[in-house]
Amino acid sequence: MAAWSSSPSLRHLLLLRPRLPLSPTCLAGSFSRRHVHSHSHSRRRLFSSASSSTLTHGDAASAHGDGDGVVDVNPPRGTRDFPPEEMRLRTWLFDQFREVSRLMAFEEVDFPVLESEALFIRKAGEEITQQLYNFEDKGGRRVVLRPEITPSLARLVIKQGKSVSLPLKWFTIGQCWRYERMTRGRRREHYQWNMDIFGVPKVRAEAELLQAIVLLFQRLGITSSDVGIRVSSRKVLQAVLNVYSIPEHLFTEVCVIVDKLGKLTREEIEKELMSTGLSSEAVQGIIEVLSLKSLSKLEEVLGSGVEAVADLKKLFSFAEQYGYADWICFDASVVRGLAYYTGIVFEAFDIEGKLRAICGGGRYDRLLSTFGSKDIPACGFGFGDAVIVELLKEKGLLPDMSRQIDDIVFPLDEELEGPASSIASSLRKKGRAVDLVEDKRLKWVFKHAERINASRLILVGNSEWERGMVRVKILSTREEFEIKAGELE
Amino acid sequence: MAAWSSSPSLRHLLLLRPRLPLSPTCLAGSFSRRHVHSHSHSRRRLFSSASSSTLTHGDAASAHGDGDGVVDVNPPRGTRDFPPEEMRLRTWLFDQFREVSRLMAFEEVDFPVLESEALFIRKAGEEITQQLYNFEDKGGRRVVLRPEITPSLARLVIKQGKSVSLPLKWFTIGQCWRYERMTRGRRREHYQWNMDIFGVPKVRAEAELLQAIVLLFQRLGITSSDVGIRVSSRKVLQAVLNVYSIPEHLFTEVCVIVDKLGKLTREEIEKELMSTGLSSEAVQGIIEVLSLKSLSKLEEVLGSGVEAVADLKKLFSFAEQYGYADWICFDASVVRGLAYYTGIVFEAFDIEGKLRAICGGGRYDRLLSTFGSKDIPACGFGFGDAVIVELLKEKGLLPDMSRQIDDIVFPLDEELEGPASSIASSLRKKGRAVDLVEDKRLKWVFKHAERINASRLILVGNSEWERGMVRVKILSTREEFEIKAGELE
């Protein structure tokens, strides 16, 4: 019962059962190792795009002409398995998300990972809508593995309609997908924590969201010397567009272009802006304002009367009152890549500048009307599971992720499997996490106890059991004693 | 800020933003209500299969010739949203799954909801493989929204290879999908709790799984007069096939046919069995054995030497020792619909017989070799989230699912939003769940406090605040007092 052995190359291959009827001996057995080895290279690549694009449904195996299909033991490209250790890390992180959401009095909601494509069709050239993991279902419907969660949230808010009272404070943790060429080894799925407030037009809502983000960082042991939150408002750009009398319908497009600052060169950005029909004067005006890093300078340039300045000043004053002012800074270059933002936008970043944005969000007061409903002021953020874990690793802040078990029950003799069953069963009913181990040597059991951080080892042996007793070993202290089985707690 | 109003028919419609450039006024506003009403009927059906099968990506809107697309506010057919109340129910149920898994010392794992189709291609005629939610991705790969989790588990066990030591005890909670015509209003997705043990050839493994299921029922308040677990073994059928010298390769097919007993008539089953090439004598023999409900009768028919009888006797003796014998019964008609089961099979059912099976599982000792790896003895079960909730509803066992919040902080004056922010912020840092409410009447706040089960209401008013005090109201006792803001715990 020890770890089974298989050659390393075998571990990376899964043979599909052949389509032809099998002889009885084949059914229960497995293909010979030699046979597998001889084909391993070509099989591994069976599901790569080059070789499989012309395969018909279910005929993958026969396409290689050898009658045996191959399934990679890896999950589909760009996706992850979560074996126990990774799962414990994920659970721990999600628990932090949930605890902060609880402190902020948000309610959890969820949506199908599969949505109608129509919910995500936008025409502003966003990266997110250009990388949709979309397809047609068997009923001819255009569906998509959702790339983000906000449109689903908006959909549910509209659906709930009058049955809910505003403001709504909802959070969700869900998997999001994208389809892009895997040239950079980027993943096709990640999990995202979303917090959204519907029905609060004032920047109070943004102030609350920022507190949630800061509370999370603090719980994780991250300080304001590790991470900062850049804040601006799309109304800054709006004000600039107004100065140059740029038509309103170009606003979203300009935002999406300007968000590429940092990815593209300044020249490329300017070129893209010009191609929308903006004058070079307007383009220069936009670029200049975006370089501002001080709110007083912004006020000087735009005047104190504009909403952008008033909103930002209010938000920074809230930050003082909440006590997280040292975490945030004004940075006019923050625009965010989503088309629907209308006001305050923000993103958290590592101060060293090594990683992508840790999270990002903003106000989207006009999303619902794009769905044909009456608008409700709204804002929210998305916080992925990837960058934060990179940061925690880098800072040495990942907690101990080892397994923990209360008791191991081990019968020293096969005859004692009955008593061992009753003991394990009754301890579990009392709320203890019990691992019942059999058919192993005592030495293995001790090693196992150490590996899974067991608190106690309960040995059921003949000489004790004759007197209704079991032997207990406390593993941290090495203390050992006998106790009546019925008195175990 | 009260609940917003929109006409009921509007609430069921989402307008997609038109593809043509909008005038500035259109961008921020919404389509006129009259305009929406006049088209509502045809729009609602836009994504039905009849009308959309010929639409090209992104052109859904224009297909109706009016320039406005429509998105249903409902999630895709056969899928569910989880608004807060339903989400609380789901979280509660999943917490029960997790707690039982913890007591049984199982480790949580997870897999992508999207898998390679090859993992699920089997040829035994199972319902599950005939209703795959499969499609081709943009790279030409055949992928599937997984219909069940066991093949992913097996895949990960093979992938982990020597890095894990057996036995493995893994659980997971994940969404599973199927695609079938929605004639019966059946859903296309559900969540499933899976517990699986790899590396234990003895029925000890099944005994442990059954304890987990019973522990769950007990935690939910379900008794053995509400629910029973039917147990049999595929080795029973195997023994019958041996008697009639039926070729081994027909075993799986026979199992899948026989599992339809209850759905199809006896005549239909007989016809299907005959069509595989079985003699009518063998068919009668199979049907007769499947009607047995007593283990001693089975022993009489098959003889005590066969593995099926020995396994089942051992399992029932374990059941006595664990203390759940009153929950299980032998029923030879249980075969289960999955192709890969090889030994003990079981399913839980409501005693009144109103519902579908609550959960089901069994031993699958030869699954890994169908993937080209060395076999490892294994067994497990899947436990869906749907039938159990129906049963709990019927028995009145659903717990109180109302929201719970510690504190509401409410500034009585807009000027006091600063102090209210600090108070809310500091209570949250102390671990209290705080809802900060503004711009409402006091009457609304009291109603709100009741609705969300707040423990305390903290009023920040001018006269108290001048002295650094706030007014606290304990909502359960209606007790009211003043306290220094800094002394709030």
Lowest mean pLDDT among A4-13, A376-385, B116-125: A4-13
pLDDT in tens, A243-264: 899 988 899 899 989 888 878 8
pLDDT in tens, B140-198: 899 999 999 999 999 999 999 888 889 999 999 999 999 887 656 678 999 999 999 99
* Cβ atoms of residues B137 and A145 within 8 Å: no
Compare CB distances from A13 to B49, B68, B372 and report the shortest one's residue. B372
Return the structure tokens found at A90: 């994920």
Mean pLDDT of the residues in chain B: 85
Cα–Cα distance between B412 and B405 in angstroms, integer? 20
B192 known member of a binding site: yes
Mean pLDDT of the residues in chain A: 85
Return the structure tokens found at A82: 């979560």
B130 known member of a binding site: no
Instruction: Please judge whether A433 and B103 are an interchain contact, meaning their C-beta atoms are less than 8 angstroms apart.
Output: yes
> Does B8 have pLDDT greater than 70?
no
CATH superfamily of A84-395: Bira Bifunctional Protein; Domain 2 (3.30.930.10)
> Does B10 have pLDDT greater than 80?
no
Q: How many CA atoms lie within 13 A of B440 on its CB side?
A: 23
Question: Closest approach of chain B CAs to the CA of A395, in angstroms?
Answer: 23
* Cβ atoms of residues A142 and A116 within 8 Å: yes
> Does B30 have pLDDT greater than 60?
no
Reported pTM:
0.86
Q: Provide the pLDDT confidence category of residue B72 given band limits of 50, 70 and 90.
A: confident
Instruction: Please judge whether B371 and A71 are an interchain contact, meaning their C-beta atoms are less than 8 angstroms apart.
Output: yes
pLDDT (average), residues A216-235: 97
pLDDT (average), residues A368-387: 95
* Cβ atoms of residues B315 and B200 within 8 Å: no
Domain positions in chain B are 84-395, 405-484
Instruction: Please judge whether A109 and B47 are an interchain contact, meaning their C-beta atoms are less than 8 angstroms apart.
Output: no
Q: How many CA atoms lie within 13 A of B284 on its CB side?
A: 3
Q: Which pLDDT score is estimated for B71?
A: 66
% pLDDT > 70, chain A:
85
Q: Provide the pLDDT confidence category of residue B70 given band limits of 50, 70 and 90.
A: low
CATH superfamily of A405-484: Anticodon-binding domain (3.40.50.800)
pLDDT in tens, B79-121: 999 999 999 999 999 999 999 999 999 999 999 999 999 999 8
Question: Closest approach of chain A CAs to the CA of B179, in angstroms?
Answer: 8
Instruction: Please judge whether A103 and B428 are an interchain contact, meaning their C-beta atoms are less than 8 angstroms apart.
Output: yes
% pLDDT > 90, chain A:
71
Q: Which pLDDT score is estimated for A20?
A: 32
Chain A contact probe: residue of B89, B219, B276, B425 with most A CBs at under 10 A: B425
Question: Could you tell me which residue, B338 or B28, shows the higher pLDDT?
Answer: B338
* Cβ atoms of residues A120 and A147 within 8 Å: yes
B133 known member of a binding site: no
Put simply, the chain A residues between 255 and 314 with a CB less than 8 A from any chain B CB are none
Cα–Cα distance between B69 and B20 in angstroms, integer? 12
Residue B286 sits at φ, ψ, to 5 deg, of -60, -50
* Cβ atoms of residues B198 and B91 within 8 Å: no
pLDDT in tens, B399-429: 988 899 999 999 999 999 999 999 999 999 9
* Cβ atoms of residues B235 and B343 within 8 Å: yes
> Does A16 have pLDDT greater than 90?
no
Q: Which pLDDT score is estimated for B218?
A: 98
Residue A76 sits at φ, ψ, to 5 deg, of -55, 150
Q: Which pLDDT score is estimated for B305?
A: 87
Strand order in the sheet with A133-136: A114-116, A142-145, A133-136
Q: Which pLDDT score is estimated for B5?
A: 35
pLDDT (average), residues B280-300: 92
Cα–Cα distance between B171 and B423 in angstroms, integer? 42
Lowest mean pLDDT among A85-99, A310-324, B72-86: B72-86
pLDDT (average), residues A172-176: 97
pLDDT (average), residues A173-182: 87
Strand, coil or helix: A482: strand
Q: Which pLDDT score is estimated for A71?
A: 66
CA angle centred on A198, ends A195 and A199, rounded to 5°? 150
Closest chain A residue to B43, measured at CA = A372
Q: Provide the pLDDT confidence category of residue A23 given band limits of 50, 70 and 90.
A: very low
Question: Could you tell me which residue, A208 or B186, shows the higher pLDDT?
Answer: A208
> Does B275 have pLDDT greater than 60?
yes
Lowest mean pLDDT among A70-84, A362-376, A403-417: A70-84
Put simply, the chain A residues between 109 and 128 with a CB less than 8 A from any chain B CB are 109-119, 121-123
* Cβ atoms of residues A468 and A485 within 8 Å: yes
* Whether B183 contacts chain A with CB within 8 A: no
pLDDT in tens, A32-59: 333 333 333 333 332 233 333 322 333 3
Residue found by looking up tokens 């026979």 in the block: B254
Q: Which pLDDT score is estimated for A46?
A: 27
% pLDDT > 90, chain B:
72
Instruction: Please judge whether A52 and B140 are an interchain contact, meaning their C-beta atoms are less than 8 angstroms apart.
Output: yes
How many other C-beta atoms can be found within 10 angstroms of the C-beta atom of residue A338?
25
A321 known member of a binding site: no
Cα–Cα distance between A345 and A382 in angstroms, integer? 12
Closest chain B residue to A372, measured at CA = B15
Instruction: Please judge whether A137 and B135 are an interchain contact, meaning their C-beta atoms are less than 8 angstroms apart.
Output: yes
B150 known member of a binding site: yes
pLDDT (average), residues B256-285: 90
Q: Within its chain, how far is the Cα of A261 from the centroid?
A: 25
Cα–Cα distance between A232 and B460 in angstroms, integer? 30
pLDDT (average), residues A56-79: 54
Instruction: Please judge whether A3 and B165 are an interchain contact, meaning their C-beta atoms are less than 8 angstroms apart.
Output: yes
Residue B135 sits at φ, ψ, to 5 deg, of -165, 175
Which of A287-292's residues contact partners 24+ apart within 8 Å by CB, and which partners? A289/A236, A289/A237, A289/A240, A289/A332, A290/A237, A290/A258, A290/A261, A290/A332, A290/A333, A290/A335, A291/A332, A291/A333, A292/A330, A292/A332
Cα–Cα distance between B210 and B377 in angstroms, integer? 17
Instruction: Please judge whether B70 and A13 are an interchain contact, meaning their C-beta atoms are less than 8 angstroms apart.
Output: no
DSSP annotation string for A182-237: GGG---SEEEEEEEEEES--STHHHHHHHHHHHHHHHHTT--TTTEEEEEEEHHHH
pLDDT (average), residues A306-319: 96
Count chain A–chain B contacts defined by CB atoms under 8 A. 442
Strand, coil or helix: A389: helix
Closest chain B residue to A75, measured at CA = B115
Q: Which pLDDT score is estimated for A70?
A: 54
Q: Which pLDDT score is estimated for B228?
A: 98
Strand order in the sheet with A454-460: A434-436, A405-411, A454-460, A469-474, A480-484
Strand, coil or helix: A146: coil
Q: Which pLDDT score is estimated for B123?
A: 79
Put simply, the chain A residues between 53 and 82 with a CB less than 8 A from any chain B CB are 53-55, 57-58, 60-61, 68-77, 79-82
Question: Closest approach of chain A CAs to the CA of B289, in angstroms?
Answer: 23
Q: Which residues in chain A are closer than 8 Å to B425, comparing Cβ atoms?
A: 211, 321-324
Question: Could you tell me which residue, A303 or B316, shows the higher pLDDT?
Answer: B316
Compare CB distances from B433 to A105, A208, A324 and report the shortest one's residue. A105
* Whether A136 contacts chain B with CB within 8 A: yes
Q: Which pLDDT score is estimated for B43?
A: 33
* Whether A175 contacts chain B with CB within 8 A: yes
Question: Closest approach of chain A CAs to the CA of B109, in angstroms?
Answer: 5
> Does A225 have pLDDT greater than 80?
yes
Q: Provide the pLDDT confidence category of residue A184 given band limits of 50, 70 and 90.
A: low
Q: Which pLDDT score is estimated for A121?
A: 87
* Whether B404 contacts chain A with CB within 8 A: no
Closest chain B residue to A118, measured at CA = B71
Cα–Cα distance between B204 and A414 in angstroms, integer? 12
Please choose, from the candidates A8, A140, A16, the residue with its C-alpha nearest in 3D space to the C-alpha of residue A68: A16
Return the structure tokens found at A161: 């309609």
Q: Which pLDDT score is estimated for A129?
A: 82
CA-to-CA separations, B396 to A449, B83, B287, B387, B400, in angstroms, rounded: 42, 21, 38, 14, 11
Q: Which pLDDT score is estimated for A127?
A: 84
B149 known member of a binding site: yes
> Does A84 have pLDDT greater than 90?
yes
Strand, coil or helix: B383: strand
CB within 8 A of A274, min separation 6: which ones?
A280, A283
